[in-house]
């Protein structure tokens, strides 16, 4: 049975309905925009003084929470303090970052290797903190690369990206990384279905050739991230996910849209079916099938990149195959839960019982019950089956509908006090509602067009609650204009009372899709201050100034250099020739918190190095013309920072100027 038979649709009517919906949405957006742009309550905040007091963090004081916001098309992850909204750091993940030399220095270039070669950018959507017993534990944070499918691990002792694994057989890694309760796995579902394995076929052969994939990636051991198994699924679009918790631990829920399996004019053609699905994956069952040898080993091409903190170096490993489970051969592993109107977000409440699906083309939210789902499975309350995946009867899994009064629901988070908060893109608001009774308690406007929202711990078993951040897609008149593009805006609400209260607006970096926050004390107690120099196992590290040297190996020249306030050793170098490949291996001998030194060389077609205390980093320079080249420290490190500089002499290709290096010789 195919999908359109399944829903027995009148296609013409549905197309019209979709158009009308979209037109209605457009009108609403326009009206909403006008009202807010010109309205007298543009600020939307409680009394200024009261709000200011709630977000004020006195000079020298710390924020209560770390907030991690994805950078979207910046490819990075930014760290803010809450409630102040102060930017603490931008962590480079999928994009080269000249500020830190990430993806430019020799040590981190391998982090951006993929099966396509070096890819210096991605679109990063969903940060997800590691968990123990369903509670964020502050060890790591993961984030997906949507465009060239990848997942990264960031170590929260150093706030550095330490691992990236590519996801094979995926056409866009959106429903990711959404962790399981004890960080066993991070998940990945393909947003765009593609041939599995990839091959050259007509796009119009979609229904026959295109497939979806759902991947489970081992996450609990640094250095060992790998695709544990993939599940081959029908060619829908797998949009978002959340793993179960408590009673639903062992399951993950993925939203799908485009169950129509259309491949063109999707805005209309993928909006035909009245219901798409939430895919419920029993990953414990999948593990059993894996152990029984049910998986097919299929060829795959993907990279695993790992940054070793002792060698201060990343290495890339090519992976050649992947284990694939087929639903028709693995009964009980995956089910489809019909869910209205192209659902986007899927969120599991702290008890693990309620699975909230947000149909982005509807006004209402659909809440499924985990207990009902298990019962329906036991009773085989199936409507039909698609490629071996039973479709459960809607009435047998749904437990409630939230009649929100809003339009375009996207994402839901929880406060741990029995309340849920859902964003509405089209009606530009957050709606607070009660789990179990489904009644709406409060609503607050967003400025403007909110996407995700985030409550500290709000997708975990134990939310901290207290604050809610709305991550808005459109900024318009909220800040001083900065030309045609405005930074996206975040808004902080106090949710400690019955009513949500808007406290603060602040700009963000790139486009934050999702965000996560965690109590500051969980993370800060583990924060590293230095890399102990005695643990430095970088092959080109030197541990004291007396070991500084310059070594020629053919046309490769290695400069073993140290930095300490306020000089480089050596600072005068001669004997370099045009055509040489010059490697500056700079070891920062400092053993003091927050004392990096930078290194830049005139004309180097590269970024600077920014070397942390105890770390070694390498800059490659290929001098093009004879002359004298200054180099200097880029990070204002001491009163004599301006003096932290040196010279390199570059001679003609055939010259016989001998290699020579020195510090303090006249
Ligand atoms: S998405 S605005 Cu990339 Cu998470 Cu929903
Ligand atoms: Cu070292 Cu400035």
Mean pLDDT of the region 629-655: 98
Same structural domain, 287 and 383:
yes
pTM for this model (two decimals)? 0.94
Distance separating alpha carbons of residues 43 and 56, to the nearest angstrom: 18
Q: How many domains does the chain have?
A: 2
| Centre of ligand 2 from the C-alpha of residue 61, in Å | 27
Mean pLDDT score, 231-260: 98
Tell me, yes or no, whether 170 and 291 share the same domain.
Answer: yes
- The answer to whether residues 421 and 537 belong to one domain is no
Tell whether the model's pLDDT for residue 32 goes beyond 90: no
Residue 275 placed within a domain: yes
Query: What is the per-residue pLDDT for 48?
Result: 86
Predicted confidence (pLDDT) at residue 5 exceeds the cutoff of 60: no
- Give the C-alpha separation, 200 to 209, whole Å: 10
Q: How far is CA 453 from each of CA 448, 517, 604, rounded to the nearest angstrom?
A: 13, 11, 43
Of 492, 525, 558, the last residue of a domain is 525
Task: Judge whether 372 lies within some domain.
Answer: yes
> What percent of the chain has pLDDT above 90?
92
CATH number of the domain to which 248 belongs: 2.130.10.10
Whether residue 489 sits in one domain with residue 617: no
Contact between 369 and 393 (Cβ < 8 Å) = no
Residue 598 lies in a domain: yes
E strands of 244-392, at which residues? 251-257, 275-282, 296-308, 313-325, 334-340, 343-348, 354-359, 364-369, 382-386, 389-392
pLDDT at 123 over 80: yes
Q: By residue range, what is the domain housing residue 546?
A: 533-662
pLDDT over 70 at 197, yes or no: yes
Q: How far is the CA of 570 from the centre of ligand 2 (A)?
A: 14
> Are the CB atoms for 537 and 310 separated by under 8 Å?
yes
Domain boundary among 525, 559, 581: 525
540 and 452, same structural domain?
A: no
Look at residue 206 and tell me if it is in a domain: yes
CA distance 409 to 413: 12
The answer to whether residues 466 and 549 belong to one domain is no
Q: Is residue 186 in some structural domain?
A: yes
Q: Which DSSP state fits 522?
A: H
CB of 636 within 6 A of ligand 2: the answer is: yes
Q: Which residue has the tokens 């990063």?
A: 124
Residue 7 has pLDDT above 70, yes or no: no
313-325 vs 226-233, strand pairing mode: parallel
Of the listed ligands, the closest to the CA of 636 is: 2
Residue finishing a domain among 525, 541, 560 = 525
| Among protein residues, the one whose CA lies closest to atom 4 of ligand 1 | 513
Answer yes or no: is 351 within a domain.
yes
Q: Are residues 544 and 450 in the same domain?
A: no
Compute, in angstroms, the gap from residue 562 CA to the centroid of ligand 2: 12
Question: Which ligand sits nearest to residue 172's alpha carbon?
Answer: 1
Q: What tens digit of pLDDT does each residue of 325-360 get? A: 999 999 999 999 999 999 999 999 999 999 999 999
pLDDT tens for each residue of 524-562: 999 999 999 999 999 999 999 999 999 999 999 999 999
Q: Both 168 and 257 in a single domain?
A: yes
Do 623 and 488 lie in one domain? The reply is: no
Question: Is 9 within a domain?
Answer: no
- Residue 552 maps to which CATH number? 2.60.40.420
| Reported confidence tier of residue 494, pLDDT bands at 50, 70, 90 | very high
Residues 35-57 have pLDDT tens digits of: 343 333 556 556 789 999 999 99
**Average model confidence (pLDDT) across the chain:** 93
Query: 149-185 pLDDT, tens per residue?
Result: 999 999 999 999 999 999 999 999 999 999 999 999 9
What's the pLDDT tens digit per position in 369-424? Answer: 999 999 999 999 999 999 999 999 999 999 999 999 899 999 999 999 999 999 99
Dihedral pair phi/psi, residue 627, rounded to 5°: 150, -170
Q: Which residue has the higher pLDDT, 16 or 300?
A: 300
- With tokens 């583990």, the residue in question is 526
**Pair (309, 413) in one structural domain:** yes
Taking the CA of 613 as reference, the closest ligand is 2
State if residue 110 touches ligand 1 by the CB under 6 angstroms criterion.
no
- Answer yes or no: is the C-beta of 645 below 6 A from any ligand 2 atom: no
Residues 356 and 301 in one domain: yes
| 377 and 489 in a common domain | yes
- Calculate mean pLDDT across residues 66-73: 98
In this prediction, residue 361 carries a pLDDT of 87
Within a domain: residue 145?
Answer: yes
């Amino acid at each position: 049975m195919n999908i359109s038979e399944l829903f027995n649709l009148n296609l013409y009517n549905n197309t019209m309905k979709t158009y009308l919906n979209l037109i209605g949405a457009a009108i609403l957006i326009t009206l909403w925009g006008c009202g807010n742009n010109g309205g007298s309550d543009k600020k939307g905040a409680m009394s200024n003084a009261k709000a200011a007091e709630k977000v004020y963090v006195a000079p020298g004081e710390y924020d209560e929470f770390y907030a991690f916001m994805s950078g979207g098309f910046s490819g990075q992850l930014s760290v803010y303090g809450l409630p102040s909204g102060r930017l603490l750091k931008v962590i480079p993940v999928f994009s080269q970052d000249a500020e830190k030399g990430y993806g430019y220095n020799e040590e981190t270039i391998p982090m951006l290797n993929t099966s396509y070669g070096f890819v210096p950018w991605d679109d990063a959507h969903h940060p997800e903190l590691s968990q123990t017993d369903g509670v964020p534990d502050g060890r790591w944070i993961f984030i997906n690369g949507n465009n060239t499918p990848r997942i990264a691990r960031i170590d929260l002792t150093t706030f550095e990206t330490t691992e990236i694994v590519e996801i094979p057989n995926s056409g866009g890694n959106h429903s990711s990384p959404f962790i399981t309760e004890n960080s066993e796995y991070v998940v990945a579902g393909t947003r765009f279905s593609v041939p599995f394995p990839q091959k050259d076929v007509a796009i119009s052969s979609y229904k026959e050739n295109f497939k979806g994939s759902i991947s489970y990636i081992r996450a609990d051991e640094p250095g060992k991230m790998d695709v544990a198994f993939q599940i081959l699924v029908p060619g829908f679009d797998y949009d978002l996910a959340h793993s179960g918790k408590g009673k639903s631990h062992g399951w993950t829920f993925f939203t799908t849209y485009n169950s129509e399996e259309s491949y063109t004019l999707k805005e209309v053609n993928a909006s035909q079916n009245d219901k798409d699905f939430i895919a419920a994956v029993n990953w414990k069952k999948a593990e059993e099938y894996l152990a029984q040898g049910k998986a097919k080993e299929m060829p795959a091409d993907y990279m695993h990149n790992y940054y070793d903190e002792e060698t201060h170096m990343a290495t890339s490993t090519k992976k050649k195959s992947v284990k694939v489970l087929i639903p028709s051969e693995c009964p009980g592993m995956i089910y489809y839960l019909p869910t209205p109107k192209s659902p986007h977000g899927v969120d599991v409440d702290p008890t693990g019982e309620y699975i909230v699906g947000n149909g982005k083309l509807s006004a209402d939210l659909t809440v499924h019950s985990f207990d009902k789902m298990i019962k329906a499975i036991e009773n085989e309350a199936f409507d039909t089956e698609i490629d071996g995946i039973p479709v459960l009867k809607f009435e047998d899994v749904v437990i409630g509908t939230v009649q929100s009064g809003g339009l375009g629901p996207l994402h839901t988070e929880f406060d741990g006090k029995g309340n849920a908060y859902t964003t509405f893109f089209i009606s530009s608001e957050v709606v607070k509602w009660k789990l179990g009774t489904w009644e709406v308690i409060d609503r607050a406007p967003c400025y403007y067009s909110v996407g995700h929202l985030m409550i500290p711990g709000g997708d975990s078993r134990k939310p901290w609650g207290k604050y809610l951040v709305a991550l808005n897609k459109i900024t318009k008149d909220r800040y001083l204009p900065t030309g045609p593009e405005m930074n996206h805006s975040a808004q902080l609400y106090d949710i400690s009372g019955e009513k949500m209260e808007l406290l603060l607006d602040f700009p963000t970096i790139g486009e934050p899709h999702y965000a996560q926050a965690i109590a500051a004390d969980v993370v800060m107690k583990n924060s590293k201050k230095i890399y102990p120099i005695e643990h430095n196992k970088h092959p080109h590290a030197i541990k004291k100034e007396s070991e500084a040297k310059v070594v020629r190996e053919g046309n490769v020249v290695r400069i073993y250099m140290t930095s300490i306030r306020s000089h480089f050793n050596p600072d005068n170098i001669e004997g370099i020739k045009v055509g040489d490949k010059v490697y500056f291996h700079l070891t920062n001998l400092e053993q003091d918190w927050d004392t990096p030194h930078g290194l830049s060389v005139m004309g180097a077609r590269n970024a600077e190095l920014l070397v942390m205390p105890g770390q070694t980093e390498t800059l490659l320079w290929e001098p093009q013309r004879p002359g004298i080249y200054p180099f200097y420290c880029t990070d204002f490190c001491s009163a004599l920072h301006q003096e932290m500089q040196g010279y390199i002499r570059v001679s003609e290709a055939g010259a016989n100027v001998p290699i020579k290096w020195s510090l303090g010789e006249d």
